[in-house]
Amino acid sequence: MKLIDYSVLDFVKELDSAKPAPGGGSASAVASALGMALSRMVGHLTIPKKKFKALDDYTQESFIDIHEQLKDNQRKALKLVDEDTLAFNQIMQAFKMPKESDEEKKERKKAIEKATYKATEVPMEIALISFETLKSLKVTIKHANKNAISDIGVSALLLHSALEGAILNVKINLPGISDEAYKEKMYTKVKTMQEEGQAFKEALLKIVNEHL
């Protein structure tokens, strides 16, 4: 059974166990999907309103395009909930490979590193999709139904938490990769997202709080 098919209660219980997976990566993907869902809720409460329909066509289309993109992003985030746990389990399976002979050790090491790449790339996908969605809220918030502006604030918080959580899962796996150029590229990418993501979150919360 997939994690995304669990009830909220069952998923929480699954996290609250001695099993190492699902862990922070899957939880980050869930947080990301929740943030996207809240943003879409605000869209649903905005698009039918007369005030929104009075906006120029370009503004309406831009808002609706983001609203529709969020649907795709949410599907991706939900898919990554299970992919992150699967990637971690593949590392654990690789560590269990035999290591008696030199050949076995070589194959085991190769399998571990291959699985580690995957376990790095999945949370990076979570981080990227969370970052892009967080960035899109600066457009959404301008024309969103102000009665639901607190929900945009919560969405920003969830997406930022998902971004930071996913980045932690990227960083914890990078030491297991031997390609220094790849590692440097990943460290640079997450550093940029952290800095910009923090700025986006703070700017959004400032707007939200000014309207409360």
- Residues 143-162 have pLDDT tens digits of 999 999 999 999 999 999 99
Arithmetic mean of pLDDT, 45-67: 96
pLDDT tens digits, residue range 60-69?
999 999 999 9
Helices (H), 100-179: 102-143, 149-173
* Closest C-alpha to 121, from 156, 161, 93, 88: 88
Q: Name the packing angle between helices 102-143 and 57-95 (round to 10°).
A: 160
Q: How far apart are the first and last CA of the chain?
A: 42
pLDDT at 38: 97
* pLDDT tens sequence across 21-30: 999 999 999 9
CATH architecture label of 21-211: Up-down Bundle (1.20)
| Tokens at 175, concatenated | 């030491």
d(CA 44, CA 119): 35
Residues 163-175 have pLDDT tens digits of: 999 999 999 999 9
For residue 155, the model assigns a pLDDT of 98
Q: How far apart are CA 96 and CA 155, in angstroms?
A: 40
CA distances from 99 to 14, 27, 87, 139 (A): 32, 33, 21, 54
Where along the chain do its domains lie?
21-211
> Global pTM?
0.94
